[in-house]
């Protein structure tokens, strides 16, 4: 029932969406591995403080992104040489993000951290910034390789998908019928997660993938799709759903159909609403999608400004949280739309 624009909006809203680029097959993974290990010569970006950090947000109306930004601000507070953090918000409008980046360049910021509405759309603007000697760091989303991006602090969707799939297979004892609930069709997240799932399933011939659906990071949509799937398939034994926000919708549909007991949910992420569900039902667990990506991005940027050589991309590793360990992470008095994080309390969003 959601409008497509909303789908895209929420698509972008999960940080993963940030890489809207063409689908990359697994064979590209070797190339990506090579690219991210390249060393970047940063001498031309070297400059003395004080620094002004520019953040070009493709969107801010999303909880993951808000936490990510808080991580950036927290890290900035720990460096005296950082005088100011300027944040622009394109509110899902790539044309505005291009303008935002141009405005940040006009303001002559020292460094630009960004997460795009649409990666390709802002490449020209980013390239101009780089030409003007302003380093750019892609923050959070998938790995970007191009002249507009000096370095990446990113989370690997393929590895995440693989971890989720392996835990699901283990929980199901290696057999049964499942479906996959994925983000927006065509995004790196959707493509890499599905590819990883299929790779894992090769080792488990008794597991059958019924269908892969796209719930677009939208809890309501995931719920509605699942309601229809429950009509279509009389037997579903497991669900592959790496995004906790959608997992809640899926689980609710099963629960309302009285079929929750028959199904095994895969790990989601550390989305608080999902963690609450895990705590209550003691199953599923989580594979994290760390919001501290923002903090890592700023650290990386400071190294660039110092003229130190850096790698083209650093990977922020996902971790598995078992259902029994979830109590350490869940914050029952916090909203569903919240992320388990390592932020000090005073830096958490109010």
Partner 1 sequence: MIRRLPALLARTGIYWLLLLLLVLASAAIPEFRTPANLANVLTQSAPLAVLAVGQTLVITAGLIDLSVGQLAGLVVVLVCALADGSSAAAVPVVALALLLAAAVGALNGVLSNRLRIDPLILTFGMLSVLQGVIFVWTDRSIGRAPPELLWLANERLLGVPVSLVLVAAVALACGAILRRSRLGLHLAALGGSEESARRVGVPTARVRLAVFTLSGLSAGLAGILIAGRLGTGYPMAGAGYELDAIVAVVLGGTALAGGRGSIAGTLAAVLVLGIVSNALNLLQISAFVQMVAKGLIVIAAILANQPRARTRVVAA
Partner 2 sequence: MRRTLSAAAIWLVLLALLAAAALLSPGFLDPAYLVNIVRQAAPVGIAAVGVTLVMILGGVDLSVGAIISFAAVLCAVQMEGRVENIPFALATTLAASVAIGLFNGIVIAFNRVSPFILTLGTALAVYGLTQVYSGGTARGVVAPGFREFFNFRLGDLVPVLALTFVALAILAEAALRTTRYGRSLYLVGSNRAAAALAGLPIARLTIATYAISGLLAGVGGIALLARSGVSSTFAGRGFEFDALAAVVLGGTTFEGGRGNVAGTVAGVLVLFVAFNMVNMLGLDYNSQLIVKGVIIIAASAAYTRLNRDPG
User: Tokens in use for 342?
Assistant: 């390592």
Of 257 and 306, nearer to partner 2 (C-beta) is 257
Of 88 and 245, nearer to partner 1 (C-beta) is 88
Minimum separation from the CB atom of position 336 to partner 2 (A): 5
* 4 near partner 2, judged by CB under 8 A: yes
* 94 near partner 2, judged by CB under 8 A: no
To the nearest 10°, the Cα dihedral for 326, 327, 330, 333? Answer: 160
* 186 near partner 2, judged by CB under 8 A: no
Q: Compose the 263-282 pattern: x for residues touching partner 1 by CB under 8 A, - for all others.
A: --------------------
Q: Please, how many CA atoms are within 13 Å of residue 149, restricted to the half-sphere of its CB? A: 28
Note if the bond before 50 is cis, omega within 30 degrees. yes
User: Tokens in use for 66?
Assistant: 């808000």
* 281 near partner 2, judged by CB under 8 A: no
| Site size with partner 1, rule: CB under 8 A | 41
Whether the Cβ atoms of residue 265 and residue 239 lie closer than 8 Å to each other:
yes
Q: Report DSSP letters for 75-144, one per residue.
A: HHHT-TTEEEEEEEE-TT-HHHHHHHHHHHHHTT-SEEEEE-SSTGGGHHHHHHHHHTT--EEEEESS--
Chain-centroid distance, C-alpha 173: 28
Q: Compose the 245-264 pattern: x for residues touching partner 2 by CB under 8 A, - for all others.
A: x--xx--x---x--------
User: Tokens in use for 202?
Assistant: 């090769």
* Out of 68, 76, 90, 164, the residue judged to bind partner 1 by CB under 8 A: 90
DSSP bridge pairs for 225: none
Q: Compose the 201-240 pattern: x for residues touching partner 2 by CB under 8 A, - for all others.
A: -------------x---xxx--xxx-xx--xx--------
| Contacts of partner 1 in 174-213 (CB under 8 A) | 184-187
The residues of the shown chain that bind partner 1, judged by CB under 8 A, are 3-5, 7-8, 20-21, 57, 60-61, 86-96, 98-100, 102-103, 106-108, 117-124, 184-187
């Amino acid at each position: 029932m959601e409008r497509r624009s909303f789908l895209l909006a929420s698509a972008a809203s999960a940080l993963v969406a940030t890489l809207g680029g063409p689908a990359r097959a697994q064979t590209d993974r070797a190339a990506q591995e090579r690219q991210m290990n390249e060393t970047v010569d940063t001498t031309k970006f070297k400059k003395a403080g004080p620094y002004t950090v520019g953040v070009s947000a493709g969107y801010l109306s999303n909880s993951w992104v808000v936490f990510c930004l808080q991580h950036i601000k927290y890290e900035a507070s720990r460096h005296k040489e950082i005088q100011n953090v300027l944040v622009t918000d394109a509110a899902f409008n790539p044309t505005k993000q291009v303008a935002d980046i141009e405005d940040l360049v006009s303001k002559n910021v020292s460094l630009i951290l960004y997460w795009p509405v649409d990666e390709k759309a802002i490449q020209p603007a980013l390239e101009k910034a780089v030409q003007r000697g302003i380093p750019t760091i892609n923050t959070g989303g998938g790995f970007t390789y191009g002249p507009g991006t000096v370095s990446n602090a990113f989370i690997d969707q393929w590895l995440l998908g693989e971890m989720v799939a392996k835990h699901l297979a283990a929980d199901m004892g290696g057999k049964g019928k499942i479906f996959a609930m994925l983000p927006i069709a065509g995004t790196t997240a959707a493509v890499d997660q599905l590819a990883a799932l299929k790779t894992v399933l090769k080792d488990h011939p008794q597991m059958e993938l019924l269908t892969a659906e796209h719930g677009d990071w939208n809890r309501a949509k995931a719920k509605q799709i699942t309601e229809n799937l429950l009509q279509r398939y009389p037997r579903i034994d497991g669900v592959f759903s790496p995004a906790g926000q959608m997992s809640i919708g899926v689980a609710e549909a099963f629960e309302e159909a009285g079929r929750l007991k028959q199904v095994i949910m895969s790990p989601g992420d550390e989305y608080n609403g999902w963690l609450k569900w895990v705590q209550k039902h003691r199953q599923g667990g989580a594979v994290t999608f760390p919001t501290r990506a923002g903090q890592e991005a700023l650290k990386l940027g400071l190294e660039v400004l110092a003229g130190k050589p850096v790698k083209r991309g650093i990977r922020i590793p996902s971790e598995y949280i078992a259902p029994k360990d979830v109590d350490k992470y869940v914050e029952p008095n916090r909203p569903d739309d919240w992320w388990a994080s390592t932020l000090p309390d005073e830096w958490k969003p109010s």
